[in-house]
Chains A and B, each alone.
Chain A
Amino acid sequence: MSEPLLVVEDLSVEFATDTGWVQVLDGVTFGVDRGETVGLVGESGSGKTVTSLSILGLLPPEGSRVTAGSIRLDGVELVGMPKRRLEAMRGDEISMIFQEPMTSLDPAFRVGDQIAEVVRRHRGGSRREAWKRAVEVLETVGIANAGSRARSYPHEFSGGMRQRVMIAMALSCEPKLIIADEPTTALDVTIQAQVLDLLRSMRDEFGTAVVFVTHDLGVVADICDRAVVMYAGQVVERSEIDALYATPHHPYTEALLSAMPQLVARTGRLATIPGSTPPAGSMPAGCRFHPRCGHVRDRCRDTLVAERRLDGGGTSRCLRVSDLVLKGSA
């Protein structure tokens, strides 16, 4: 069986703090197939952004370290890869779209030049060719009059348009994998839908695999094939998307589903998950979710829980997975 396009295996990352090294990712494992969209879901502090930054090797070199695990793209190991080789892969084979379209483009350069710069970095060629490619990708992401808009500066675009420019930049070298870190969070709802549509059609047109990082399960349902749910630096559940919504296998997933605003109309008030993500360095013993879990038992408080494979092909990190029947959203 051939390996998936992206394999993240047993990835552990530590950050430096005043009191020493603190683990922020603990044995994160998941894979992404070619052309597949995988949602990386969790609250703030769950480790989803750290996971995506470590895939690109963008964690700050001082102040963070990968202590264990492997990240492979197309069979090539990225952990420990020399800086220059990794640089050459970024933007070419993997690229990333960020949450803040307003600040993620350089205000001092024309958007066309910024895209052309990336194209020339990886494809070489003349300025003219790179510029042509920039205009072409801007057209692809639905920017009208791309030829003249390429000459505009970022501040001359709205937030949604800037996110389109970011997507165009990410697509410019036809990467195998795009990591989209909350790409719609900062946008209006209507613009969100447009950007999601765009990402979907890009995936269908170019067969690009996408890791979609978000806290919003509604968006995940919209665009993802599978989901990886993270909590406190660990993967707590992996599942096909429909199965995740119908029958979640981890109480945290259930809690996230019940906290989806889409359900407000039905229940009349917005459910919340009591408490908040524990800070790195002071993780609870036993199951990390137990202090906030509605199904907690005594053994959850002191037993370390490993990921368990489930019949449907997913995994769960819950001791009670076999005796709990959790509520889905459907």
Chain B
Amino acid sequence: MLRYTVRRILMIIPLLFLVSLGVFALVLLIPGDPAITIAGENATEAQIDATRERLGLNDPVLVQYASWAGNALTGDLGSSLFSNESVVGAIGGRFPVTLSLTVAAMVAALLIAVPAGITAALRRGRWQDRGATLFASVGISLPNFWVGILLIMAFALAFPIFPAVGYTPLSDGVGPWVLGLVLPGITLGTAVAAEITRQLRGSLSDTLQQDFIRTARANGLTARAVIAKHGLKNAAVPVVTVMGFQIGFLLGGSVIVERVFGLPGLGDLAIRAVLQRDIPMIQGIVVVSALIVMLVNLVVDLSYGWLNPKVRQA
């Protein structure tokens, strides 16, 4: 298991290099000239040139990449072209919000998907199964800004149980923090719940046909132990894989959901950065997002080793 873990971690290095190339290429690909944007619309040609020089935009591309990557490795992703705030600082300030939202969405998704998926698998072909399948197709196709608005109307305005907008940091108390995350979490988690339900249904009902399930039953294990222990652990690999994929979706979806609920997270920061062509900020957000996705995939891969002991040798 240790060798498997180490090897899997080392595999991240080439991946990071590729990501850094892609991120850096953003500068070259994005239309518009940041120097013009920064210097302002009424700037003279000379002012724009000076700005370009200051930002190093005149250097050869390789030199630009080397200095950017070198700084990035030391944890310096530059600073915003507008506020001069350091990119790492800005991301660091907003990251807890997005992390909270993502975790809330995943928790909401699992709270819905695990019971729904298990019920559908056990009652295959009956109304419970059809209900779960219907939920899955509807849940995937609902746009989450719309779900969010509906939830706000129902549970923040009509029945004011949860706050409609805004974020309360964890440091202000666990209760308010959780309360503020319920609606955004459900909004963002619905589609993920639908996808996980579908996977879990298929995977679990296949697993329950296996010989070792019959063995467990023949040895008198209770239906609960058979399903919860032997069934779920063996059915988990495809489900965990999907959960890993969904993290990317959650990061993307948080852009919209943070807008709807007025959460000052990474998505909100990303929108502003894109609108302002704040390239260092965009690069920083992409790098951090890529890092998160890679870390999640690492965790997913390591979980394979736990779920399926055969993988450890491979």
Contact A95 B211 (CB under 8 A): no
- 1/0 per residue, CB under 8 A from B, across A202-238: the answer is 0000000000000000000000000000000000000
Task: Tell me which residues across on chain A come within 8 A of B218, comparing CB atoms.
Answer: 56, 58, 90-91, 95-96, 98
Known A-B contacts A88-B220, A117-B221; the reply to A104 vs B215 at CB < 8 A is yes
Binds A, one of B44-52, B85-93, B160-168, B304-312: B304-312
A8 on the B face (CB < 8 A): no
Residues of B within 8 A of A122 (CB): 220
Cα A92 to Cα B225 in complex, Å, equals: 16
Residue of A nearest to B237 (CB): A108
A274 to B221, CA, bound (A): 43
Among B220, B222, B230, B233, which residue has the most Cβ atoms of chain A within 10 A?
A: B220
Q: Does A38 contact B (CB under 8 A)?
A: no
Cα distance A107–B230 in the bound complex, in angstroms: 9
CB distance from B92 to the nearest CB of A (A): 39
Per the 8 Å Cβ criterion, residues 129-163 of A in contact with B are 153, 155
- Residue A9 lies at the interface, judged by CB distance under 8 Å to chain B: no
Shortest C-beta distance, A291 to chain B (Å), equals 34
Q: Is there a chain A Cβ closer than 8 Å to B214's Cβ?
A: yes
Encode contact with A along B194-216: 1 for CB under 8 Å, 0 otherwise: 00000000000000001110111
B211 touches A104 (CB 8 A): yes
Cβ contact within 8 Å between A105 and B219: no
Q: Provide the main secondary structure of the chain B interface.
A: helix
- Are B309 and A91 in contact, CB atoms less than 8 angstroms apart? no
Answer yes or no: B276 CB below 8 A from chain A CBs.
no
Evaluate whether A106 and B214 lie within 8 angstroms (CB atoms) in the complex, with A91-B220, A117-B221, A153-B309 already known: no
Roughly how many angstroms separate A91 CA and B220 CA in the complex, as a whole number?
5
Answer yes or no: A73 CB below 8 A from chain B CBs.
no
Are the C-beta atoms of A166 and B222 separated by less than 8 Å? no
User: B217: CB under 8 A from chain A?
Assistant: yes
Q: Contact between B214 and A155 (Cβ–Cβ < 8 Å)?
A: no
Chain A residue nearest to B210 in the complex (CB): A103
Q: Cβ of A91 and Cβ of B221 under 8 Å apart?
A: yes
Contact residues, A87-135 vs B (CB, 8 A) = 87-92, 95-96, 98, 100, 103-109, 117-118, 121-122
A-chain residues with CB within 8 Å of residue B233 when the two chains form the complex: 106, 108-109
A169 part of interface (Cβ distance < 8 Å)? yes
Task: Name which residue of chain A comes closest to B310, CB basis.
Answer: A155
| Chain B proximity mask over A42-62: 1 for CB below 8 Å, otherwise 0 | 000000000000001010000
- Whether B80 is near chain A, meaning CB under 8 Å from some CB there, is no
Complex contacts, A84 vs chain B, CB 8 Å: 222
Q: Mark B239-258, 1 if CB is under 8 A from A, else 0.
A: 00000000000000000000
- B residues within 8 A CB of A108? 230, 233-234, 307-309
* Chain B minimum-CB-distance residue to A172: B219
Cβ-neighbour of B214 out of A89, A104, A117, A153 (below 8 A): A104
> In the assembled complex, which residues on chain B have CB atoms less than 8 Å from the CB atom of A105?
212, 215
Q: Is the CB of A107 within 8 A of B220?
A: no
State which of B210, B212, B219, B307 has its C-beta within 8 Å of the C-beta of A118: B219
CB-CB nearest in chain B for A103? B211
Interchain CB contact under 8 A, B214 and A58: yes
Taking CB atoms, residues of chain A closer than 8 Å to B223 are 87
0 or 1 for each of B277-314: is its CB under 8 Å from A? (1 = yes): 00000000000000000000000000000011110000
- Min CB distance A166 to B, Å, is 7
**Inter-chain contacts of B211 with A (CB < 8 A):** 98, 100, 103-104
Q: Chain A: which residue is nearest B215 at the CB level?
A: A104
**Are A87 and B309 closer than 8 Å at their CB atoms?**
no
Q: Nearest residue in B to A156 (C-beta to C-beta)?
A: B309
**Residue of A with least CB distance to B231:** A106
CA of A109 to CA of B214, assembled, Å: 15
With A98-B211, A98-B214, A153-B310: A106-B234 Cβ-Cβ less than 8 Å: yes
Q: Is the CB of A118 within 8 A of B220?
A: yes
Query: Which residue on chain B has the smallest CB distance to residue A169?
Result: B219
A118 to B211, CA, bound (A): 16
Q: Map CB proximity to B onto A250-278 as digits: 1 under 8 Å, 0 otherwise.
A: 00000000000000000000000000000
Most chain A CB within 10 A, of B215, B218, B223, B233, is at: B218
CB pair B212 A107 closer than 8 Å: yes
- Give every chain B residue within 8 A of A109 (Cβ-Cβ): 230, 233
Considering the complex, give the chain B residue whose CB is closest to the CB of A84: B222
Q: Which residue of B lies closest to A92 (CB)?
A: B220
Partner of B220, one of A87, A98, A106: A87
B1 to chain A, nearest CB (A): 12
In the complex the two chains form, what is the Cα distance from A56 to B218 in whole Å? 7
Shortest C-beta distance, B124 to chain A (Å), equals 10
21 CB-based A-B contacts, threshold 8 Å: A58-B217, A87-B220, A89-B220, A91-B218, A91-B221, A96-B218, A98-B218, A103-B210, A103-B212, A105-B212, A106-B212, A106-B230, A107-B310, A108-B233, A108-B309, A109-B233, A117-B221, A121-B219, A121-B221, A122-B220, A155-B309
Binding site for B on A (CB under 8 A): 56, 58, 84, 87-92, 95-96, 98, 100, 103-109, 117-118, 121-122, 153, 155, 166, 169-170
Give me 5 other A-B pairs in contact (C-beta within 8 A), A106-B233, A107-B309 excluded.
A89-B220, A96-B218, A103-B211, A103-B212, A108-B307
List the 3 shortest-distance A-B pairs measured between CB atoms, nearest first: A91-B219, A91-B220, A90-B220
